[in-house]
Structure 1
Amino acid sequence: MTTHTVRSPIQVISGLFGAVFLLVGILGFVPGITTDLDTIMFAGHHSQAALLGIFQVSVLHNIVHLLFGIVGLLGLRSRKLAETYLIVGGIVYAVLWIYGLVVPMESMGNFVPLNTADNWLHFVLAVAMITTGIIFGRKARTSVTR
């Protein structure tokens, strides 16, 4: 006998974000997909490695993507975890966006590292994650209370 688990839309969205983050974290270590991989550093703005030749990455940056991916996939298990992941994750990306705008790119404070493309991608991720977390989280709560 097989048991089929029905997942809510917010759990599926969390899983999709998680899968993409996991893929991005892995691709950040793949030569050819990440240019100048031989210059990658653990952290800091001196890393010239760039995912797709656009997004500056470091080992730390890739690890963060891998962790975000794992937590997003765990959101497949629970509506509440999925909602929390999307909203809190979105807030983290909003903070990273602001951080990237405020901290000069060539300073020691740019430890992640971030470039302009990263900054605006973080803005888009923040808006997308928070919005889907709120909208689909609200839908999940109203469908449970009915």
Structure 2
Amino acid sequence: MVRTSTATTGRATARQPVQSAAAAVGGVFLLIGVAGFIPGITTEYGEMSFAGHDSHAYLFGLFQVSVLHNIVHLLFGVGGLALARTVSAARLYLVGGGALYLVLWLYGLAIDHASAANFLPVNHQDNWLHLGLGLGMLALGLLFNRRPVIGR
């Protein structure tokens, strides 16, 4: 089923692939943010701190999380769903979010994970996930950059 919009013109327009991609990515971030607050999905849940490297909770037993980290995922997810409403905002979410995740990857590589600079917190698994997310979101935002040509 293709969603349509009647914004501004009154005519129905098909939802563009970039909008679907932004909504899907936002939905996944929202689910991950919720999962971070579920004991069992998040191991050592009782050892979760609000922020900082001393949080010993791990999403899926791999990715170090804190309350702040989970809140960031929730907000990033809600943002993706909201920005998926228009083509330009969806593209901005994917490309801008991808660039942000690449910066976060570099930050995670540069800091000492046992220092106060690791406020989210991140670990080595998070770093490589951030690289994949950054490249993936950029690819989706750029891949779906072109609109389909209708007629000649």
The aligned residue for residue 45 of structure 1 is: 53
CA distance in 1, matches of 2:123, 2:141: 26
Write the letter of the residue equivalent to 1:102: A
The aligned residue for residue 33 of structure 1 is: 41
2:140 aligned with 1:129, yes or no? Answer: no
Write the letter of the residue equivalent to 1:108: A
Write the letter of the residue equivalent to 1:22: L
- TM-score normalized with structure 1 length: 0.92
The aligned residue for residue 101 of structure 2 is: 93
Write the letter of the residue equivalent to 1:60: L
- Structure with the larger helix share: 1
Q: How many residues are paired up?
A: 140
2:90 aligned with 1:75, yes or no? Answer: no
RCO comparison, higher one (Cα < 8 Å, 6+)? 1
Q: Give a deviation string over 1:37-88, Cα, whole Å, max 9, x none.
A: 1111111000000000000000111011001101111133100110000011
The aligned residue for residue 70 of structure 2 is: 62
Please tell me the root mean square deviation across aligned C-alpha atoms, in Å: 1.4
- TM-score normalized with structure 2 length: 0.88
Gaps of 5+ in 2: 5-13
Bigger-Rg structure (1/2): 2
CA distance in 2, matches of 1:143, 1:49: 49
Cα deviation for residue 143 of structure 1 reads 4.2
Write the letter of the residue equivalent to 2:64: Q
Indicate conservation of the 8 Å contact 1:7/1:76, yes or no. Answer: no
Gaps of 5+ in 1: none
The aligned residue for residue 18 of structure 1 is: 26
